[in-house]
């Protein structure tokens, strides 16, 4: 019986660690923010819609296919040298 309990407590501990790790890597802005495409600097994106897998992989500034999490309601008012941010992926000049 104690082997079963040890197995269960090990599984519970592993689950708790996985949950804590997932929470630690979730940006705080995700709770009350929005995805804003075309505003992130190279390597500072939170994720992407296109050419790369995810966070930190953007290779150009203001990539219209990569987003940054920003406070809700601020995306389209953010101005960059290439134009405003967008709530949807956009094409930027290369």
Task: Look at residue 35 in the predicted model and tell me its pLDDT.
Answer: 92
Task: Look at residue 58 in the predicted model and tell me its pLDDT.
Answer: 80
Domain chopping of the chain, boundaries: 1-27, 32-94
Among 48, 78, 88, residue whose Cα is nearest residue 66: 48
Contacts 24+ apart (CB under 8 A), 74-83: 74/34, 74/36, 75/34, 75/35, 75/36, 75/39, 78/36, 78/39, 80/38, 80/39, 82/38, 83/38
State both tokens at 45: 């994106």
Beta pairing, strands 83-84 & 79-80: antiparallel
Interval 21-79: pLDDT, tens: 444 444 444 568 999 999 999 888 887 655 556 766 788 889 898 899 999 999 999 99
Question: For residue 83, what are the β-bridge partners?
Answer: 80
């Amino acid at each position: 019986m104690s082997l079963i309990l040890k197995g269960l407590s090990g599984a519970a501990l592993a689950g708790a660690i996985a949950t804590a790790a997932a929470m630690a890597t979730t940006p705080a802005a995700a709770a009350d923010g929005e995805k804003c495409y075309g505003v992130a600097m190279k390597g500072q994106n939170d994720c992407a819609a296109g050419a790369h897998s995810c966070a930190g992989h953007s290779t150009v500034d203001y990539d219209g296919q990569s987003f940054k999490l920003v406070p809700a309601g601020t995306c389209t008012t953010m101005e960059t040298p290439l134009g405003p941010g967008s709530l949807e992926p956009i094409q930027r000049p290369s």
